Amino acid sequence: MLSRAILRTTRVAHKRAFSSVDFSYEKPFPLPNAPETPWRKLPGSEKYVSTINVEGREMLKVDSDAISALTKEGMTDIAHLLRPAHLEQLANILKDDEASDNDKFVALELLKNANIAAGKILPGCQDTGTAIVMGKRGRSVITTGASDEEAISKGVYDTYTERNLRYSQVAARNMFEEGNTGCNLPAQIDLYSEEGDEYKFMFMAKGGGSANKTFLFQQTKALLNEKSLTEFAIEKIKTIGTSACPPYHLCFVVGGLSAEQCLKTVKLGSAKYLDGLPTSGSQGGRAFRDLEWEQKILKITQDMGIGAQFGGKYFCHDIRVIRLPRHGASCPVGLGVSCSADRQVWGKINKDGVFLEQLEEEPSKYLPEVTDKDESLSEEVVKVDLNKPMADIRKELSEYPIATRLSLTGTIIVARDIAHAKILERLEAGEEVRGI
Ligand code: SF4
C-alpha cells in the first residue's frame, strides 16, 4: 500500500514538473513599429562591399575599412549634429505658453549652440563622451581585414584625434593611479549576430554627467501596483536633478532578466533605439512600451516644476516606459536619460554601400524669428561682476531668489573631479591651498 502511494505521488510530481506549453521562439525585443530612418550614403562606399557565393548562398563581403569609415563618420556627426525631432522639440518649447521663461531661455540657448556646433568646428558639448558602439551583424555578412572591434576602435580613434574633441577616458595603471589614454579609447563595443544580410550599427557618445544619472533599483513584486509605482517614479525621477543638462529624454524600465539587461534597455530606450517595440505584452515575455505610463510620467515630470534647469515645465522632452519579463523573485527597475547632447546615430552596411542616418545639417531653421519680446527677455538678466570681492558677490546674489538668471562677467576658475581630488589630498596632508 505504502509503495503504491509513493508511486502515485511521484507520478503527480513528475507530471507537474513538465510544461504543457509548446516551444515557440519569440524575439525578446521585436521592433514591428520601427519608424523609417532617413539615410545618407557615404560617397564612394560601394568600393568596400561585394557579394560572394558560398554553397549557393549569397554572402555580403565587407572590408573592415568600411566599418572604420562608418564609425568615424558616425562619431563625427553626433559630436556636431542632432536629430531633427530633437531640434523640433526645442523649438516647440519656445512656442508653448505653459513653458516658463527659463524653459524658453534654455531652449533658445540650446538651439543657438546647435547652430554653432553644426559648423563642425566645435562640438555640441565640451564633454565629448565615451564612444559606445553596438553592431548587429547579419548571418549572411562576412568581414575581411581587421577584426570588427579593431576596425570600430580605429574609427573612434580617428574621430577624436583629428577633430576638436576632448579625450575623456582614463586608464588605470593600478588601483589608484590613472592616466588619460590620450585618444578617447577604449570604446564600449557590443557586437551581436542576427538574421539578414546587413550589418547594422548604433553609435553613441555618452557624457559622464549623463551616464552618472543611470540608476538601478532592485525591487520586488510589491512595486507592481498603480500607487506604489507612481510614488516610486516621482521619488526617483526627482533625484536625477538637473546636473545632466535637461530637458531629458528619460527612460524608465520595469523588469529585466538581469540587472544588466534592465540597464541596457534603459540606455537603448533613451536613445530611441527601441521605439518600434510593440505596445502590449505577450505570453512569451516580449519587451513592450507602455504608452499610458509614458504619458503619465511625462505629466509627473511637468508638474514637478523643475523645468529645463531653473524651474518650469520642461524637465523632459519625452518619456519611454518599457516593461520587461523578470524572475518572479526579483524586479529590477532602471532609470536613465539622454541629455541635451542627445548623441546617437544609426548606421548600416549592405550590398549597396555604407549608410548613415541623416542628422540635421541646417539647425538654423528651428531658430525663432528675432522679435522685441526676445529683447525684453534679455533685460531680466541680473549682471554680476565677478571681479568684486567674493563677500560682495555673495551679498548681491542673496538678494535674488533661486532660478534668477544671471550674466556673469569676470574671471572664473573652474575645477572638476581630478582637481577636487588633488585639493582634498593637499588639505588632508595639512598643506595650504590658496583661495580655499
Ligand atoms: S550632461 Fe550631456 S549636455 Fe551636460 S555636460 Fe554632460 S554630455 Fe554635455
Q: Which amino acid is at 1?
A: M
Q: Could you identify the atom of ligand 1 that is nearest to the CA of residue 245?
A: 4
Query: What is the rounded CA–CA span in Å between residue 340 and residue 308?
Result: 10
Query: What is the rounded CA–CA span in Å between residue 368 and residue 347?
Result: 31
Q: Is the CB of 125 under 6 A from ligand 1?
A: yes
Q: Is 342 exposed, middle or buried (0-12, 13-18, 19+ CB in 10 A)?
A: buried
pTM of this structure:
0.89
Q: Is the CB of 207 under 6 A from ligand 1?
A: yes
Query: What is the rounded CA–CA span in Å between residue 319 and residue 59?
Result: 40
- Helix H or strand E encompassing 345: strand 344-350
Grid coordinates standing for 225? 501596483
User: Ligand 1: which of 127, 128, 168, 242 to mutate, most ligand atoms within 8 Å of CB?
Assistant: 127
Q: Is the CB of 338 under 6 A from ligand 1?
A: no
Contact predicate 244/290, CB 8 Å: no
Q: Could you identify the atom of ligand 1 that is nearest to the CA of residue 213?
A: 1
Residue of 212, 208, 225, 228 whose CA lies nearest to 335: 212
3-state secondary structure of 59: strand
Tens digits of pLDDT across the chain (436 residues): 545 555 555 555 555 579 999 999 999 999 999 999 999 999 999 999 999 999 999 999 999 999 999 999 999 999 999 999 999 999 999 999 999 999 999 999 999 999 999 999 999 999 999 999 999 999 999 999 999 999 999 999 999 999 999 999 999 999 999 999 999 999 999 999 999 999 999 999 999 999 999 999 999 999 999 999 999 999 999 999 999 999 999 999 999 999 999 999 999 999 999 999 999 999 999 999 999 999 999 999 999 999 998 899 999 999 999 999 999 999 999 999 999 999 999 999 999 999 999 999 999 999 998 765 555 455 578 899 999 998 999 999 999 988 788 888 998 888 877 888 888 889 999 988 876 6
